[in-house]
Chain A
Amino acid sequence: MIAHILNLGRRGCDVLEALGRSGLFLAQSAVGVPSREGWYLWLRQMHFVGVLSIAIVLVSGLFIGMVLALQGYTILVDFGAEQALGQMVALSLLRELSPVVAALLFAGRAGSALTAEIGLMKATEQLTSMEMIGVDPLRRVVAPRLWAGFVALPLLTIGFSVVGIYGGYLVGVEWLGVFEGSYWGGMQSSVAFIGDVGNGMIKSMVFALVVTWIAVFQGYDLVPTAEGISRATTRTVVYSSLAVLGLDFVLTAVMFGGFS
């Protein structure tokens, strides 16, 4: 019995310690002063986590927009309210689906790769070697990845929304025959730039921070074995997804829940 309680206490301390370590880690890596060199490292990571993720994000956005329009149309047409299709597609994409789905895809596509890459660096003692020759691995390896993720995900989210709304247009207007003017007009009269687009962007920035933070921390903090890397990669995807979905509820409640 005592042993169980001891075990529980040890687990709790471990969790708290990891949280504290990751907080310090975030603070230390985020203050990396951007030099000419650091700029180039950031650029390389932008290319890897941003540019190479465009395809999957845009294709998912297109299909999600098309499905939204199709599903929305079949329901709205019962109420004779198919003019509200544009409004429905735009609001659900901007407020919820783009930030969340783009962050989940980003965690799977880029987050897991970041963890595996940094983890392998640690397992092959590249990080220790860097410290030996006087290069700060937080600044050299972690900071560019953190900043790249933080900039790339909001941009990908914008792309997701744009393509999704266009996908909704293709299905709703071109295929199902909703009047084009009411698709765009309903959207424009109901979407607020700060309230909807801006809040979606804030959500996306929060998710970007959380997802890249989890990814680089898991890579930096893993047990340096083959098994450790595979576990850390899995944990990155699982923790990021849970954190994104949980935070999404909290942010939605604060932004659109009407408590103010």
Chain B
Amino acid sequence: MKRSKTMELGVGLFMLAGILGLLFLGLRVSGLTFNMPGDTFRLEANFANIGSLKPRARVTMSGVTVGRVTAIELDRDWYDARVILELDAELEGKLARDTTAAILTAGLLGEQYIGLTVGGDPEMLVNGDTIRDTQSALVLEELIQQFVSNMVSD
């Protein structure tokens, strides 16, 4: 009987360790957070070219992560890319209407993300608004083309 108790204890500890491990993988490794859906608000931004921006990319302000990209789709009215952003609810009503959004690249080979820069408009962006002032991703081929055509015209 004593032996079976230690065995039960061993198996119980083993399963507990497994569950704790899964919790560690969830919280520490994959950065799972239990955000309420109301903790964010939505903004839209249209870009002429998004480069290789992907859903779940970061949205930053002065380098601080303030949200993420939730969806990217083709805008059928203007034929450009409409990017849906989800930002921290604390920023709702704090960003000026002429805030600019630019697609930036982290390092030479890094992933692309969106950088926001505040403007000076007294009116503020609220849930569902669209950011008007955007700057597309740098596409290397276009850059080279420009450079070459400048060289030729010189």
Best-surrounded residue of B10, B17, B18, B58 (most CB of chain A within 10 A): B18
Nearest Cβ in chain B — how far from A149, in angstroms?
Answer: 13
State which of B25, B32, B56, B110 has its C-beta within 8 Å of the C-beta of A158. B25
Known: A159-B17, A162-B21. A196 touches B30 (CB 8 A): yes
Chain B residues whose CB sits within 8 angstroms of the CB of A259 once the complex forms = none
Nearest Cβ in chain A — how far from B11, in angstroms?
Answer: 5
Number of interface residues of B (CB under 8 A): 26
State which of A43, A188, A189 has its C-beta within 8 Å of the C-beta of B11. A43
Complex CA distance for A44 and B26, rounded to whole angstroms? 30
Complex CA distance for A47 and B21, rounded to whole angstroms? 18
State which of B7, B11, B25, B108 has its C-beta within 8 Å of the C-beta of A161. B25
Residues 156 to 214 of chain A near chain B (Cβ within 8 Å)? 156, 158-159, 161-162, 165, 184, 187-189, 191-193, 196-197, 201
A158 and B18 contact, CB distance less than 8 A: yes
A155 and B18 contact, CB distance less than 8 A: yes
Chain B residues whose CB sits within 8 angstroms of the CB of A196 once the complex forms = 30
Nearest Cβ in chain B — how far from A50, in angstroms?
Answer: 5
| B153 within 8 Å of A (CB atoms) | no
Nearest CB to that of A79 among chain B residues? B109
Nearest CB to that of B110 among chain A residues? A81
State which of A43, A81, A197 has its C-beta within 8 Å of the C-beta of B26. A197
State which of A80, A151, A159, A188 has its C-beta within 8 Å of the C-beta of B30. A188
Nearest Cβ in chain B — how far from A60, in angstroms?
Answer: 15
A47 and B18 contact, CB distance less than 8 A: no
Chain B residues whose CB sits within 8 angstroms of the CB of A162 once the complex forms = 21, 24-25
Give 1 or 0 for each of B42-62: 1 = CB within 8 Å of chain A CB. 000000000000001010000
Complex CA distance for A43 and B28, rounded to whole angstroms? 31
Residues 30 to 50 of chain A near chain B (Cβ within 8 Å)? 40, 43-44, 46-47, 50
Number of interface residues of A (CB under 8 A): 33
Complex CA distance for A191 and B24, rounded to whole angstroms? 13
B7 and A43 contact, CB distance less than 8 A: yes
| A154 within 8 Å of B (CB atoms) | yes
| A15 within 8 Å of B (CB atoms) | no
A51 and B30 contact, CB distance less than 8 A: no
Known: A44-B7, A158-B22. A191 touches B30 (CB 8 A): yes
Chain A residues whose CB sits within 8 angstroms of the CB of B25 once the complex forms = 94, 158, 161-162, 193, 197
Give 1 or 0 for each of B1-35: 1 = CB within 8 Å of chain A CB. 00010011011011101100110111011111000
| A118 within 8 Å of B (CB atoms) | no
B18 and A90 contact, CB distance less than 8 A: no
State which of B14, B24, B29, B110 has its C-beta within 8 Å of the C-beta of A46. B14
Chain B residues whose CB sits within 8 angstroms of the CB of A184 once the complex forms = 28
Chain B residues whose CB sits within 8 angstroms of the CB of A121 once the complex forms = none
B7 and A47 contact, CB distance less than 8 A: yes
| B63 within 8 Å of A (CB atoms) | no
A51 and B21 contact, CB distance less than 8 A: no
Chain A residues whose CB sits within 8 angstroms of the CB of B13 once the complex forms = 51
Chain B residues whose CB sits within 8 angstroms of the CB of A51 once the complex forms = 10-11, 13-14
The 5 residue pairs across chains A and B that have the minimum distance between CB atoms: A188-B31, A155-B18, A158-B21, A191-B30, A193-B30
Sample 16 A-B pairs with CB under 8 A, ordered by A number.
A43-B7, A47-B10, A54-B14, A94-B25, A151-B15, A155-B17, A159-B17, A162-B25, A165-B29, A187-B29, A187-B31, A189-B58, A193-B26, A193-B30, A197-B26, A197-B30
Which A residues are closer than 8 A to B by beta carbons?
Answer: 40, 43-44, 46-47, 50-51, 54, 79-81, 90, 94, 151-152, 154-156, 158-159, 161-162, 165, 184, 187-189, 191-193, 196-197, 201
